Amino acid sequence: MSVETRHRIRGGVGESVTRPDGVPKVCGAFQYLDDLRADGMLWAATRRATVARGRIVALDVGTASAMPGVHDVITFADVPGRPYQGQIVPDQPVLCDGEIRHWGEAIAVVAADDPETARLAAEAITVDVEELEPVVDVERALELGDVFRHFPVRRGDPEARGDVVVEGFYEMGTQDQAPLGTEAGLAVPDGHGGVDLWGPSQWTHVDHEQLVACLGLRPEELRVHISGLGGAFGAREDLTLQTHIALLALRTGRPVKQHYDRADSFAAHVKRHAARMWYRHEADRDGRLVKVEARMILDGGAYQMTSQAVIANAATFAVGPYRCPNTFVDAYVVRTNHPPAGAMRGFGTNQACFAAESQMDRLAAELGIDPLELRLRNALEPGDALATTGQVVTEPLPTSEVIRSVAALPLPDDEPGDDPLRLPGGTGLTTPPDRVVRGVGYAVGIKNLAFSEGFDDYAEARVTLTADGAEVHTAAIEVGQGMVTVLIQIARSALGIENVEVVFDDTSKIGSAGSSSASRQTQMAGGAVLRAAEAARSAALALAGGDDLDDLGVWRDGELVMTLAELAERGPISEWVRFRHPETEEPDENGQGRLHVDFSVAAHRAVVDVDPELGLVRVVQIDIAQDVGRVINPVQLRGQIEGGIAQGMGWAIMEELVFRDDGTVANPTFTDYLLPTILDMPPVEAVLVEQPGTWGPFGAKGMAELPTVSVTPAVVAAIRDATGKALRRVPVRPEDIVFGDG
Amino acid sequence: MIVQLTVNGEDRHAEVAGWESLLWVLREQLGLTGTKGACEQGECGSCSVILDGEVVCSCLVMAADADGADVTTVEGLGTPEDLHPVQEAFVAEGAVQCGYCTPGLVVAAAHLLETNRRPEPDQIREALSGNLCRCTGYGAVLRAIEAAREAM
């Protein structure tokens, strides 16, 4: 009988291992997409639409093409394959197809010797446009029937009545992921009619599938590679410049590089959906929810992108992490002439959370019950049915515990005092310190983990033992979140070998790992790595007849019986796994079914100081308690929590992509699209609730989205607490605080 | 025109066009791609370098105006084998995620600790208020600079 003699591995699961790309990143040596170059490469520049809707009556690239240093100009007519792209429904023209459908839509792309020549040539393209009336209002789009998807939920008795009723209307502006690295890429022709592409991606295999269709290539003629990304947050879920530079490289026979400027970036990548939501909550006198009705309309912008999946999340999390026997939701995502909306951290749950949590606070006020007590009375726990889909929660879900945990954290006792740095508005001419009002607000969020609705969700990984360690091969994408460290830690703990390296394979070398999104890679890529590593360990032990494995080799009864180098010569041992999570199903016509594989919950508390005269807000502290399953890397997990909170707080009080009445974007710059700075960000206390799940590696759950989800309503609740204002719209603007309804 | 620069202690020359920023010359002519461009407007601090003793946004400095200047970029602070204490602390404290803002933050933080050896948390925050980070929420950045302050 073999005896488990496994030594304690250093740098395994549970430790704050430092990231392997940390040193190159702090030295400026890490290679990002915009650092890539190739001999003889050309630079691309894009000509974009300046109106939200119009018909191109004349498009003349002659002057641009004739400019010295210009090698090629492409328009819609030059797309050799399917001229439309999109990962769910290919409805987005690779380049404008004659009708401009949003501000910033790409019309033509130039390849030239240097970026300045390319830019000037793009400007020299003549585009005559007959302007058309844009659809900029979601209710107008709904009247027109221009709906990407309607997601209905019909559960329980529509005639059910509670003792108290609270109705509310809520609105949220458009948020941009604003990753610091703008889109960049390099396409290199292979000399045989194919191309190698490095582009901004969260999922190279789904990019590959679209690109070969659009470029008219055989699958093996395109290899999509992984390179350094300056953040993602959903912005890289859909294609931007990839099709353009690959096509230019194929046509010119030269490598082609492009690096978007910030205005290009704002124009090209998907946004978080703006939303309008109407809610009606009914409860009994004890505060138990009797019925929730919601109608929500999300602004999908001009093309579908991932809107169909976003609206499913908005609809199925419309009630939040609460029990309710009677739920009726009509959720729509509609087409407008705004830039396309798609994925951003939280993926539809954020909008629902803001409205539902605002309603819970109003219900608590109406009933005279403490807002946290009201939430605890309705908290969704294992064994309960999700209020919308009716699916029973079978995994751990510590809803009550996250609420109690965040409430138990000490509140800050520091008052603003006289230090102007501690006043809302900082050192400007703001209200006197004694007029500053403090408020405290809470909110609870719920998010699905991994893909839903019956999607065949899998991740591949290969673990190969080498002469001095192990390699993990995957196409899962490191966007900055720290997945690379987590995969190393999982592999180390499963193998017993410390010297583990992650190799990011291109699309020709390994199958899909799915997207780095949906809080899924710790469980999905991690799940594949865990199983491949376990298989590699077993194979090594079997081959050498041993009972333990480490960086030296295979051991039996405390004696080294085969070194890793000998194993590699005899083997080689290389184990490939395609890991799937438990199956989900599509909704029935009433939105019912086991749509989601798993859930996670978090509760936030926000403390704010408000200048009620100028409408300025200083966030004093934000605390969170989060259901994480099992902590793999404490420092990285804290980083995800703090970073997620910054984004959700930004949406609450400062971040909005502003549309003019004509559908054009007013603020596509970092001067005018405001992001939280280090002065805006408060201290964060976090409680990590560890109740291991059944299918994630070592019980871990995906966790990177929830910190963003419920912080937005918590900050707004705190401002309401301070001011007594209704604040139905996010982001909360100074005029909402000064002049808004009570 | 030809500009002469002292970059990370080395004498460098570059033939620059009128439109070229210092950022462009550093990245594209001198091959120092550690300095990043993310907003082209001096709002994000990703392109921060030390120019004649001051932290500047290199996207806002015309290369022609920098003739004769002494420039320190992130590459000049430390190497993988010999990290600057700020670089070391950024790795240890988890202040690096996507890392795109990191070179600018590291340059600004190193300059702060050179000019003020014992900065208080509020002084650190003030000094870094021109550097945007979208990943970390700044908590780990603050902890890293406090750790570097203690180490230096």
* pLDDT at residue A4, rounded to an integer: 44
**Beta-bridge partners for B71:** B7, B51
Question: How far apart are the C-alpha atoms of A210 and A217, rounded to whole Å?
Answer: 10
Q: Do residues A334 and A150 touch, judged by C-beta distance below 8 A?
A: no
Tell me whether the CATH fold assigned to A33-132+185-258 matches the one assigned to A275-390+398-451+589-739. no
Q: Which domains does chain B have, with CATH numbers?
A: 2-75 (3.10.20.30), 85-151 (1.10.150.120)
Question: For A591, left (φ over 0), alpha (ψ -120 to 50), or beta?
Answer: left
Distance CA A362, CA A340 (A): 33
What distance in Å separates residue A55's CA from the closest CA in chain B? 31
Decide the pairing of beta strands A164-172 and A729-730.
parallel
Sheet strands side by side (includes A559-563)? A548-549, A553-556, A559-563
- DSSP class of residue A529 equals H
- Binary contact (B142, A678; C-beta < 8 A): yes
Q: Rounded to a whole number, what is the distance in Å from the CA of B54 to chain A's nearest CA?
A: 20
Contact B93, B140 (CB under 8 A): yes
- Provide mean pLDDT across the span A374-383: 98
Percent of all residues in chain A with a pLDDT value above 70, rounded to a whole number: 99
Phi and psi, residue A172, nearest 5°: -135, 135
* Pairing of β A256-259 and β A42-48: parallel
pLDDT at A6 over 70: no
Interface test with A, best of B7, B39, B123 (most A CBs within 10 A): B39
Q: Is B75 close to A677, i.e. CB distance below 8 A?
A: no
- Give the domain ranges of chain A: 22-30+458-580, 33-132+185-258, 275-390+398-451+589-739
Instruction: Please write the tens of the pLDDT for every residue from A333-364.
Output: 999 999 999 999 999 999 999 999 999 999 99
Stretch 96-115 of chain B: residues touching chain A, C-beta under 8 Å: 96-103, 106
Alpha helices in A449-523 (DSSP H): 483-495
Q: Are A558 and A549 in contact (CB under 8 A)?
A: no
Residue A684 to residue B78, Cβ atoms within 8 A: no
Smallest CA–CA distance, residue B4 to chain A, in Å, is 23
Chain B neighbours among A 451-510 (CB < 8 Å)? 479-482
Give the nearest partner residue to A25 out of B88, B102, B133, using CB atoms. Answer: B102
Counting one residue from A and one from B, how many pairs have CB atoms under 8 Å apart? 185
* pLDDT of A7: 61
Q: For residue A5, what pLDDT band results from cuts at 50, 70 and 90?
A: very low
3-state SS record for A110-153: EEECCHHHHHHHHHHCEEEEEECCCCCCHHHHHHCCCEEEEEEE
Q: Determine the Cα–Cα distance for residues A238 and A735; give it in Å rounded to an integer.
A: 35
Q: Is domain A275-390+398-451+589-739 classified as CATH 3.40.50.280?
A: no
pLDDT tens track for A116-147:
999 999 999 999 999 999 999 999 999 999 99
A233: nearest CA in chain B?
Answer: B135
Q: What is the 8-class DSSP label of residue A659?
A: B
Contact B46 A233 (CB under 8 A): no
What mean pLDDT is predicted for residues A487-510? 98
Residues 6+ apart with CB under 8 A from B132: A180, A670, A675, A677, B38, B39, B43, B44, B45, B46, B101
For the stretch A188-231, pLDDT in tens is 999 999 999 999 999 999 999 999 999 999 999 999 999 999 99
Question: What is the average per-residue pLDDT within A428-436?
Answer: 81
Residue A390 is encoded by which pair of tokens? 């009716």
Which chain A residues are within 8 Å of B15, Cβ to Cβ? none
pLDDT for position A428:
72
Closest by Cβ to B129, choosing from A262, A636, A678: A678
Domain A33-132+185-258 in CATH: superfamily? Answer: Aldehyde oxidase/xanthine dehydrogenase, a/b hammerhead (3.90.1170.50)
Closest chain A C-alpha to B32 CA, distance in angstroms: 8
Among the partner-chain residues A23, A25, A180, the one whose CB lies closest to the CB of B134 is A180
The string of pLDDT tens digits covering residues B23-50 is: 999 999 999 999 999 999 999 999 999 9
Q: Which residue of B has its CA nearest to A419?
A: B122
Distance CA A682, CA A251 (A): 51
Distance from CA of B109 to the nearest CA of A (A): 12
- The mean of the pLDDT values for chain A is 96
Which among A18, A480, A645 has the least Cβ separation from residue B97? A480
Work out the minimum CA distance from B130 to partner chain A, whole angstroms. 7
Instruction: Return all residues near A320 (Cβ < 8 A) that are at least 6 apart.
Output: A352, A353, A356, A357, A360, A444, A445, A446
For residues A336 and A299, is the Cβ–Cβ distance under 8 A?
A: yes
pLDDT band at residue A420 using 50, 70 and 90 as cut-offs: confident
Q: What are the residues facing B11 on neighbouring strands?
A: B6
- Nearest CA to CA, how far is A96 from chain B (Å)? 26
Phi-psi region of A413 (alpha: psi -120 to 50; beta: other; left: phi over 0): alpha
CATH topology of domain A22-30+458-580: Aldehyde Oxidoreductase; domain 4 (3.30.365)
- Contact (CB<8Å) B126/A230: no
By C-alpha distance, which of A629, A632, A345, A630 is closest to A485? A632
Mean of the pLDDT values across residues A57-83?
98
Residue to mutate among B26, B36, B60, B100, with most A CBs inside 10 A, is B100
Interacting residues of B150 by C-beta distance below 8 A, sequence separation 6+? none
Neighbour count for residue A131 (Cβ, 10 Å): 12
d(CA A220, CA B88): 43
φ/ψ region of A437 (left if φ > 0, alpha if ψ in -120 to 50, else beta) reads beta
pLDDT digits (tens, 9 = 90+) for A224-273: 999 999 999 999 999 999 999 999 999 999 999 999 999 999 999 999 99
Residue A729: other Cβ atoms inside 10 A: 18
E-assigned strands of B73-120?
none
Residues of chain A positioned with their CB less than 8 A from the CB of B130: 677
Is the Cβ pair A25, B142 closer than 8 Å?
Answer: no
Q: Are strands B70-72 and B2-7 parallel, antiparallel or unpaired?
A: parallel
Average pLDDT rounded to a whole number, residues B13-17: 95
Averaged pLDDT, A419-429: 78
Chain A, residues 13-42, CB within 8 A of chain B, namely: 16, 18-19, 21-32, 34-35
| pLDDT-derived band at A423, boundaries 50, 70, 90 | confident
List, for residues A690-711, the tens digit of each pLDDT value: 999 999 999 999 999 999 999 9
Compute the distance between CA of residue A492 and CA of residue A10 in angstroms, rounded to an integer.
8
Do residue A28 and residue B134 have CB atoms under 8 angstroms apart?
A: no
Choose among B75, B100, B130: nearest Cβ to A27.
Answer: B75
CB–CB of B14/B1 below 8 Å?
no
Ordered strands of the A184-189 beta sheet: A70-74, A106-112, A42-48, A256-259, A184-189, A195-198, A222-225
Helix (H) or strand (E) holding A446: strand A437-448
Nearest residue, CB atoms, B38 vs list A177, A180, A645: A180
Query: Is the minimum CB–CB distance between B140 and chain A shorter than 8 Å?
Result: yes
CB contact A677 to B (< 8 Å) = yes
| Interface-testing mutation among A36, A119, A180, with chain B (most B C-beta atoms within 10 A) | A180
ipTM over 0.85: yes
Tell me the per-residue pLDDT of A538-591, one tens digit each, with 9 for 90 and over: 999 999 999 999 999 999 999 999 999 999 999 889 999 999 999 999 999 999
Q: Does A427 touch chain B (CB under 8 A)?
A: no
Phi, psi of A674 (to 5 degrees): -85, 130
How far, in Å, CA of B108 to CA of B56, rounded?
Answer: 9
Asked whether the predicted pLDDT for residue A416 surpasses 60, the reply is yes
Where are the alpha helices (H) located in A182-326, listed in sequence order?
Answer: 204-215, 242-252, 262-268, 307-316
Which residue do the tokens 């102007």 mark? Answer: A420
Query: What is the average pLDDT score of chain B?
Result: 97
- Reading the block at residue A354, the tokens are 């803001």
> According to the model, what pLDDT value does residue A434 have?
86
Tell me whether residue A88 is exposed, middle or buried, using C-beta atoms within 10 angstroms of its C-beta: 0 to 12, 13 to 18, 19 or more.
Answer: middle
CB A607 within 8 A of CB A411: yes
Of B91, B94, B106, the CB nearest to A638: B94
Q: Which residues of B touch A32 (CB under 8 A)?
A: 33, 36, 100
Query: In sequence order, what E strands does A175-303 have?
Result: 184-189, 195-198, 222-225, 256-259, 275-283, 289-299
List CB contacts (< 8 A) between A669 and chain B.
Answer: 39, 41, 43
Q: Which helix (H) or strand (E) holds B114?
A: helix B102-115
The maximal CA–CA distance of chain B, rounded, in angstroms, is 45
Distance, in Å, from the CA atom of A710 to the CA atom of A706, rounded to the nearest integer, reads 7
Cβ-based neighbour number of residue B10 at 10 Å: 10
Cβ distance A681 to A688 under 8 Å? no
* Residues of chain B neighbouring A22 (CB-CB closer than 8 A): 90-91, 96, 99
> Is pLDDT above 70 for A1?
no
SS3 A612: coil
Greatest alpha-carbon span in chain A? 82
Instruction: Indicate the SS3 state at residue B54.
Output: strand
Q: What is the pLDDT of residues A635-667, one digit of tens each?
A: 999 999 999 999 999 999 999 999 999 999 999
The answer to whether the Cβ–Cβ distance between B80 and A638 falls below 8 Å is no
Percent of chain A with pLDDT over 90: 95
Q: Are strands A42-48 and A106-112 parallel, antiparallel or unpaired?
A: antiparallel
φ, ψ at A358 (rounded to 5°): -60, -40
Find chain A residues with C-beta within 8 A of B102's C-beta: 25-26
Specify the length of chain A in residues.
Answer: 742
The string of DSSP letters for A392-437 reads BP-S---HHHHHHHHHHSPPP----TT-GGGSTTTTSS---GGG-E
Q: Chain A contact for B3, CB < 8 A?
A: no
pLDDT digits (tens, 9 = 90+) for A105-116: 999 999 999 999
pLDDT of residue A414: 76
Pairing of strands A437-448, A599-611: antiparallel
Q: CA angle at residue A61 from A57 to A64, to 5 degrees?
A: 145
